[in-house]
Structure 1
Amino acid sequence: MVVPIGCTLPLRQKMAAALHSRLPGSRVTAHRTPAVMKARSLRIATAIENAGNLDGIIAMGTDTYDLAAAMRGRHTPIATYDDGTFALFLRYPDSDLSSLGLPSSKVDAWVRLQETACRRATIACVSTEWARKSVVQDFGVPPERVRVVGMGHRPRSNPEIKRSFENPRFLFVGVDWKRKNGAAVLDAFARVHEKFPRATLAVVGKHPPLRQAGVTGYGFLAREDPRGQKILDQLFAQSTAFVLPSLFDPSPIAYLEAASCGLPVIATTRGGGGELLCDGSIRVDPYDRDSLVEAMLRLCDGEEASSMGARALARSATSRWQDVCRRIVDGLMGADEQSNSAARIETR
C-alpha cells in the first residue's frame, strides 16, 4: 500500500511564500526561504510519524527541506528520486538555476541539502545516466547505491485519428520559449518549409505572435484544462514528428508523451533527455542550427519518421510512472536487504 506523505504549510508561511513568488526573479527562492523550509521539514516529519510503520520512503524535492530533520532519527529505508543535481545544473548557463543569477550562498545551501539527502538515503534514484554520474562524482555517493530508474509520463493516445506521413507535420510544446529554444525551431522550420512547402509546424506554449508560413500557434494549453488537453492530444495524434531541442533540459517528460503517440523526437544534447528514447530520437546540439535543420529534413521522410516513431513508442512503453515506481521500490528493497546482510556479517 502506498501512503502519500503530504506537506501543507502553515497559513503564515504559505502566504509569505505566495507573496515572495510574485517578486521579480523570486520564482525559485520563494519556496526555499529558511522559514518556509524549516516549516516544511517539520510538517513532513509530522506526516511521517502519523503514517505509522512504513517499509520505505521515497523522498523527492530534497533541496526544499531537511530530510534528516524530517526523519527525526527513524531508520526507515529511503530512496531519493531526482532528474539531476543542483551541482550539475550549475554547469549549464541556460539552466534556470544559472540564468536567474541567484546568490551563491543560497544555491550552495540547496546543493548541500540535496547532497546530504542522497548520501543519507539507502539508495539514490535518478532518471538518467547523466544524473547518476553527478550523484557519484559530485556528492560522493558509492556507485552501488545510485540507480537509474528512468523518467515517467502519462501516455497520450487518440485512436480515433489515423496518422498520415504523407506530409511532414512537426509539433513543438514548450512553456519556457527561450529555454526550450523556440526561436531556433522557427528558424529551422523556415528552411525546411522552402524544400517542403506542405510541411507544417504546430507551436504550443507561451510563444510570441507567430506570422510565419506553415506555422500555427495554439498558445499555452494548461494541464488542468480539459479542452486544452483535448486539443493537445489531437496535435500529438496528427503530427509526424516532435521537435524540442532545448538549450537545457534534465529529463523532459514531453519527449515520452510524444513517444507514447508514436512520434520520433528531435532532442537536445544539453541535459539527460537524449537518453530517454535512444534510437527513437535524434539528438542535436541546440546551438547548431544546421544540425537541427538536417534532423527535421531527415524526418520529412515518412518512412524514416514512422520507423523511428515506432522505436520511440516501444521505449515509452516501459517509462510510465508505475514502471518508474516499481524500479525505485525494487532498488530500495534490494539495497535495504544488502545493507541488512552487511550489518549481520559485521556483527558476527
Structure 2
Amino acid sequence: MRLLIATDAWHPQVNGVVRSLEHMEAAGRTMGHEPLFLTPRDFRSVPLPGYPEIRLSLAGRRSVERRCDALAPSHVHIATEGPIGHAARRYCLARGRPFTTSYHTRFPEYLAARAPVPQSWSYAWLRRFHGAACGTMVSTPSLERDLAGRGFTNLMRWTRGVDTELFRPQPDDAPDPFAGLPRPIFLFVGRVAVEKNLDAFLALDLPGTKVVVGDGPDRARLEALDPAARFLGTRTGAELARLYAAADVFVFPSLTDTFGIVLLEALACGLPVAAYPVTGPLDVIGGTGAGVLDRDLRAAALAALDISREVCRAEAERYTWAESARQFYTNIETAHARAPLPAAPARPPVAGAAELG
C-alpha cells in the first residue's frame, strides 16, 4: 500500500495525533507499506491566533493537487480537519478517489471553551466533513457510540499503543527527579491549554506537590493561579518516562480527550491514574483496577495512591503499537475495498446510433 496521510498536526507539535502517526509510519514500513505524508512542512503557514504553537497551513488547491499527483498514492487517509485535511478532501472528491479519515479531537467542545459557538453547529460541520469518507476511525467504544448517536457513519475502531520499553518502571535506586519536593507527587502531562481543564487539577486540595509537564498558551495564567505547583515545560523520551515512574498519581482532568495516550504512558511506568469518568478514561481505565474514576477528582486522586504499580504496568502491556498499526492498515484496506467505484466518464454518442437502435 502506498498510503498518503494528510495531517495538519506534525512536528514540532507534541501531541497524541503526531505520536500516533509517527508509530503508524514506522510500523507500516515493517509491514511492507509505504507511508507518505502531506504536512505543514510542505506549505507556508501562519500561527493559529491565540495558540502560536499550532500553525495553519496555506495549502492552496493547485499546490495540493500537484503534491498529491507527484506522490501517486494508492490509498489516502486524512487525519485532521484543518486546511491540509480540507485540501486533501477536495482533491479526493474532485478525482473520484475514496479516502478514510480519523476523528482525533473534540473540536466542538474545544471551540465552545474559547468562543460562543454552539456545539451543534460544529458537529454538523464535522459530520459533513467525515461523511464523505468511506471509513472514519475512532479510538474507543464510547466515542464510537457518541458519534453514531450524532449521525456519523462508517465508523471503524482504531486503538492506540504504548512503547513499553521506553515507558517502564525505574529501578529502586534510580535518581529521584522530584527530590526535595513534598510527597506525594500528583502529575499531569499534556498541553497546557484550556481544553485540558487544568484549572480543575490545580484547584484540588491535595497533600504533597502538583507537577505539570507540558507547555501551551495557558501556562502563564495557570502558573499564577497556583504558585505552589511546579511547571516543568515539555519533556520527552527517557526523561519523561523517569518523571512518570517517580510520581505517585497521574491526574488526568480532561473532559474532552478522545483517548489520552498519556494514560497508557503513565500506566506503563507503573503510575496509577485519577480521572473523571468520561470518554478516554472510561475506555482505558474502566474497571481495570489501574486507576480511579470519579466525578470528585480529589477523591479519585487520593484513592489512587493505594493502587498497585504492578497492576498498572500489566494493564499497559495489553496495548501495543503493532496491534494499533494492524487495525489502522486493515481499516484502510477494508474501507477502500467496499467504496463504490468512481463513475465512468460518459462516452460521446456514436454517429448513427439512433438508426442502429
TM class by shorter chain equals 0.5 to 0.7
Segment of structure 1 superposing worse, 117-126 or 306-315: 306-315
Write the letter of the residue equivalent to 2:64.
I
Is the alpha carbon distance of 1:219 and 1:97 closer, same or farther for their aligned partners in structure 2, counting shifts above 3 Å?
A: same
Deviations 1:163-193 (A, max 9, x none): 89xx754322243265434444344353xx2
TM-score by length of 1: 0.68
The 1-side partners of 2:151 and 2:123 are apart by 9
Long gaps (5+) in structure 2: 1-32, 175-182, 344-357
Q: 1:137 aligns with which of 149, 153, 177?
A: 149
Are 1:266 and 1:295, in contact at CA under 8 Å, matched by a contact in 2? Answer: yes
* Aligned match of 2:298: 293
Deviation of 1:147 (Å): 1.1
TM-score by length of 2: 0.66
The 1-side partners of 2:112 and 2:302 are apart by 33
Q: 1:71 aligns with which of 80, 92, 111?
A: 92
The 2-side partners of 1:163 and 1:292 are apart by 31
* Aligned match of 2:352: none
The 2-side partners of 1:84 and 1:200 are apart by 30
Deviation of 1:71 (Å): 1.5
The 2-side partners of 1:175 and 1:183 are apart by 13
1:202 and 2:211 equivalent? Answer: yes
Write the letter of the residue equivalent to 2:187.
L
Are 1:42 and 1:70, in contact at CA under 8 Å, matched by a contact in 2? Answer: no
1:309 and 2:312 equivalent? Answer: yes
Deviation of 1:117 (Å): 3.8
* Aligned match of 1:261: 269
After superposition, residues 233-248 of structure 1 pair within 5 angstroms as 233-248=241-256
1:59 and 2:78 equivalent? Answer: yes
After superposition, residues 1-348 of structure 1 pair within 5 angstroms as 1-8=33-40, 14=45, 17-18=46-47, 21=48, 23=49, 25=50, 31=56, 36=58, 39=60, 41-54=61-74, 56-64=75-83, 65-71=86-92, 73-84=94-105, 86=107, 89=108, 95-101=109-115, 108=121, 114-141=126-153, 145-153=154-162, 155=164, 156-157=166-167, 160-162=170-172, 168-176=184-192, 178-190=194-206, 193=207, 200-205=209-214, 206=219, 207-208=222-223, 212=228, 217-223=230-236, 229-278=237-286, 279=288, 280-285=290-295, 291-301=296-306, 304-315=307-318, 317-318=319-320, 320=321, 322-339=322-339
The 2-side partners of 1:238 and 1:10 are apart by 40
1:121 match: secondary structure: coil
* Aligned match of 1:196: none
The 1-side partners of 2:148 and 2:209 are apart by 44
1:269 match: secondary structure: coil
Are 2:273 and 2:304, in contact at CA under 8 Å, matched by a contact in 1? Answer: no
* Aligned match of 2:11: none
Is the alpha carbon distance of 1:292 and 1:114 closer, same or farther for their aligned partners in structure 2, counting shifts above 3 Å?
A: closer
* Aligned match of 1:346: none
Are 2:257 and 2:279, in contact at CA under 8 Å, matched by a contact in 1? Answer: yes
Deviations 1:114-163 (A, max 9, x none): 4334222221111122332344333442xxx2112123555542565338
Is the alpha carbon distance of 1:184 and 1:138 closer, same or farther for their aligned partners in structure 2, counting shifts above 3 Å?
A: closer
The 1-side partners of 2:73 and 2:56 are apart by 29
The 2-side partners of 1:159 and 1:283 are apart by 23
1:31 match: secondary structure: strand
The 2-side partners of 1:160 and 1:174 are apart by 21
Write the letter of the residue equivalent to 2:155.
V
1:242 match: secondary structure: strand
Deviation of 1:246 (Å): 2.1
1:151 match: secondary structure: coil
Deviations 1:58-77 (A, max 9, x none): 21113431444222544544
The 2-side partners of 1:186 and 1:84 are apart by 23
Question: Share of identical aligned residues, percent?
Answer: 19
Is the alpha carbon distance of 1:103 and 1:294 closer, same or farther for their aligned partners in structure 2, counting shifts above 3 Å?
A: closer
The 2-side partners of 1:163 and 1:282 are apart by 28
Write the letter of the residue equivalent to 2:253.
P
What is the root-mean-square deviation of aligned Cα atoms in Å?
3.8
The 2-side partners of 1:185 and 1:305 are apart by 23
The 2-side partners of 1:103 and 1:230 are apart by 40
Write the letter of the residue equivalent to 2:323.
D
Is the alpha carbon distance of 1:240 and 1:140 closer, same or farther for their aligned partners in structure 2, counting shifts above 3 Å?
A: closer
Long gaps (5+) in structure 1: 90-94, 194-198, 224-228, 286-290, 344-348
Larger helix proportion of the pair: 1
The 1-side partners of 2:335 and 2:299 are apart by 45
Write the letter of the residue equivalent to 1:31.
L
